[in-house]
């Protein structure tokens, strides 16, 4: 069975979630509707969404299809996360963003609302991202340096019941340190890229020591801008083969055993099914994966909209 984690506000979250970011070019064509239904049928009870993925309407349809056909499962049995994109960090825009997500998802609350990145950018009058002449985001300095106004708006939404929890994503230690200085509601989670090529050990230790649950995106290794593919790692493949599990199952189970929730993502029903599997790892199997991770710090996708590296090299 898939274990759960308890968040610092007492809410329970399944350790294995379904990522819904869809490949460029598939958005708006209903590409996520079926995979979401499939994932729920397989047993996933944790969906990771974001307004910037531009497919929350498809996810809402998939979720609705599933709930209609499976009356024994209730909305409250499913943990749904969504995120506020960086151009909506003005306090009054945060609620606008959540309202838009709720409408698309067809829900009256989400289980967790995250700030998607620790920086803020400008928006246009019609709530789109504003870009400069080079097509880059225009960083909003004040809200990037001081997250308090945005976080206070998040806290209000939490108190209003539109979201059960609030958290952050892609925050580094210095961002969390700053946030914890003024937060009256602590973030329940920090969602970041974590896998053996980006073990993020210092950040994990910081999160655990502050009772913030780390949540791993790209637990199978990022597919973008990488020179080495984690899923082709010979040592890892050998560990998985010897154990008689798939490499994805090994990586998912290793992450959960390390102490964080993982969000594998696939549009392929066979792989969606294969990934929903937690296997116990012996100490030596766990250590063997740790050994692959040791000293690694392949930085995550460095989105061009930043213009700077969010993840300077960090020792593992």
For residue 9, the minimal CB distance to ligand A2P (Å) is 27
C-beta of residue 284 within 8 angstroms of C-beta of residue 304: no
Beta strands (DSSP E) in the chain are 4-6, 12-14, 18-19, 46-48, 79-84, 112-115, 166-169, 189-193, 213-217, 261-263
For residue 82, the minimal CB distance to ligand A2P (Å) is 17
The nearer residue to ligand A2P, 6 or 229, going by C-beta atoms, is 229
The 79-84 sheet, strands edge to edge: 18-19, 46-48, 79-84, 112-115, 166-169, 189-193, 213-217, 261-263
Footprint of ligand A2P (CB under 6 A): 19, 218, 220, 222-223, 231, 246, 248, 264-268, 271, 274-275
Give the C-alpha separation, 37 to 1, whole Å. Answer: 20
Give the C-alpha separation, 286 to 191, whole Å. Answer: 22
To the question of whether residue 46 is assigned a binding role by annotation, the answer is: no
The nearer residue to ligand A2P, 21 or 151, going by C-beta atoms, is 21
The nearer residue to ligand A2P, 176 or 300, going by C-beta atoms, is 300
Catalytic member of 21, 44, 53, 217: 53
Q: DSSP assignment, residue 76? A: G
Asked if 137 is an active-site residue, the reply is: no
The nearer residue to ligand A2P, 38 or 101, going by C-beta atoms, is 38
For residue 193, the minimal CB distance to ligand A2P (Å) is 8
For residue 191, the minimal CB distance to ligand A2P (Å) is 12
What residues are labeled active site? 53
Q: Which residues are annotated as a binding site?
A: 116
Q: Which residues are annotated as a binding site for substrate?
A: 116
């Amino acid at each position: 069975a898939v274990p759960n984690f308890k968040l610092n506000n007492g809410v329970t979250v399944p350790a294995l979630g379904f990522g819904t970011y869809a490949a460029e070019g598939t958005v708006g064509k209903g590409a996520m509707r079926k995979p979401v239904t499939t994932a729920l049928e397989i047993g996933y009870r944790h969906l990771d969404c974001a307004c910037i993925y531009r497919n929350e309407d498809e996810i809402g349809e998939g979720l609705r299809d599933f709930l209609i056909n499976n009356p024994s499962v209730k909305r409250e049995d499913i943990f749904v996360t969504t995120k506020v994109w960086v151009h909506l960090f003005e306090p009054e825009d945060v609620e606008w963003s959540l309202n838009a997500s709720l409408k698309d998802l067809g829900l009256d609350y989400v289980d967790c609302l995250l700030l998607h990145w620790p920086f803020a950018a400008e928006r246009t009058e019609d709530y789109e991202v504003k870009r400069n002449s080079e097509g880059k985001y225009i960083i909003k300095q004040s809200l990037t340096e001081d997250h308090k106004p945005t976080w206070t708006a998040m806290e209000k939404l939490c108190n209003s019941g539109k979201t059960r929890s609030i958290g952050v994503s892609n925050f580094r230690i210095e961002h969390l340190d700053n946030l914890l200085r003024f937060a009256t509601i602590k973030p329940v989670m920090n969602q970041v890229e974590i896998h053996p090529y980006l073990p993020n050990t210092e950040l994990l230790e910081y999160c655990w020591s502050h009772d913030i649950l780390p949540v791993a995106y790209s637990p199978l290794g990022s597919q973008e801008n990488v020179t080495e593919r984690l899923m082709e790692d010979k040592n890892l493949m050998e560990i998985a083969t010897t154990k008689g599990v798939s490499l994805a199952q090994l990586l998912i189970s290793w992450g959960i055993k390390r102490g964080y929730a993982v969000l594998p993502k696939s549009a392929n029903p066979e792989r969606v099914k294969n990934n929903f599997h937690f296997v116990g790892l012996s100490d030596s199997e766990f250590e063997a994966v740790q050994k692959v991770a040791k000293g690694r710090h392949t930085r995550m996708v460095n989105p061009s909209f930043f213009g700077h590296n969010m993840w300077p090299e960090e020792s593992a």
